[in-house]
């Protein structure tokens, strides 16, 4: 079970729909995304996961959206395929290596490769890609796939922290978050490690170790601008930061 995304992914929906941070607000994220998309129809989700956001967007839009979802993990792609069927085109690939995508009107990430984390000191861009060179390559790949003027919408979540909470069925979800080395926190541009556990009667039934990189917001905005996306605005409800393809 050690450090296995496949093992943890079978509990993913249970975790995120049982109050994991602000993921209980999927409906709010989907409604805000839909408002920002306006009449745009060809949409790319970066890190589709098990398809929860896609599903809600399709419900709210009356299936008017044509969504393509990318994820690197076969286990979550399989869950998304079971949930969404043929309503969404699903691609298993690493966006840092993915080129030749068709043109999209917009792209978004709620809990995918990139997202924003917020605490009392402000916001930071979090990335599953640990090397800045990989972020640059992936963001340029993304920019090549979004039409000029199209938005990139990144969800804003609460900052990561160590905690645990009960899940249905006698399970417990726990996570331990720490910075790497002598770093001082993600708002200062550090890397950190997040160990995620699902336990039953004290025994670990699933574990995954995730590593993240964080960019202070000013540097994040510079990086995105260098790759073809300039910051436009945060949504009024604070759930998304919008960048526009230059």
pLDDT 10s digits, 209-218: 888 899 999 9
Note the pLDDT tens digit of each residue in 90-102. Answer: 999 888 888 888 8
Report which secondary-structure segment, H or E, holds 81.
helix 74-84
Mean pLDDT of 33-40: 97
Give the pLDDT of residue 102.
Answer: 87
- The answer to whether residues 171 and 201 touch, using CB atoms and an 8 Å cutoff, is no
Confidence of residue 40 (pLDDT cuts 50, 70, 90): very high
Using the predicted structure, report yes or no on whether residue 208 has a pLDDT greater than 80. Answer: yes
Give the pLDDT of residue 81.
Answer: 94
Furthest-apart CA atoms within the chain: distance in Å? 53
In degrees, rounded to 5, the angle at the alpha carbon of residue 138 between the alpha carbons of residues 15 and 95 is 55
pTM over cut 0.95 = no
Give the pLDDT of residue 69.
Answer: 96
Confidence of residue 6 (pLDDT cuts 50, 70, 90): low
Using the predicted structure, report yes or no on whether residue 173 has a pLDDT greater than 80. Answer: yes
Confidence of residue 3 (pLDDT cuts 50, 70, 90): very low
Give the pLDDT of residue 5.
Answer: 58
Angle in degrees, 0-180, between the axes of helices 26-37 and 52-61, rounded to the nearest 10: 50
């Amino acid at each position: 079970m050690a450090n296995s995304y496949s093992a943890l992914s079978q509990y993913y929906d249970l975790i995120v729909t049982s109050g994991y941070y602000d993921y209980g607000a999927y409906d709010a994220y989907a409604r805000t995304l839909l408002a920002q998309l306006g009449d745009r129809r060809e949409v790319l989700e970066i890190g589709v996961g098990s398809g929860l956001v896609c599903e809600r967007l399709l419900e709210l839009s009356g299936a008017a959206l044509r969504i393509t979802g990318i994820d690197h993990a076969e286990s979550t792609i399989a869950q998304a395929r079971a949930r969404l069927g043929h309503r969404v085109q699903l691609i298993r690939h690493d966006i840092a290596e993915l080129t030749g995508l068709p043109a999209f009107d917009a792209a978004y990430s709620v809990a995918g490769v990139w997202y924003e984390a917020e605490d009392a000191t402000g916001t930071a861009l979090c990335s599953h890609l640990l090397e800045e060179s990989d972020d640059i390559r992936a963001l340029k790949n993304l920019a090549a796939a979004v039409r000029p003027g199209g938005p990139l919408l990144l969800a804003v979540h609460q900052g990561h922290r160590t905690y645990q909470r009960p899940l249905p069925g006698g399970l417990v979800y726990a996570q331990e978050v720490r910075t790497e080395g002598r770093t001082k926190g993600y708002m200062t541009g550090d890397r950190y490690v997040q160990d995620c556990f699902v336990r039953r009667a004290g025994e670990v039934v699933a574990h995954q170790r995730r590593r993240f990189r964080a960019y202070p917001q000013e540097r994040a905005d510079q990086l995105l601008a260098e790759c073809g996306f300039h910051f436009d605005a945060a949504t009024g409800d604070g759930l998304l930061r919008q960048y526009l393809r230059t």
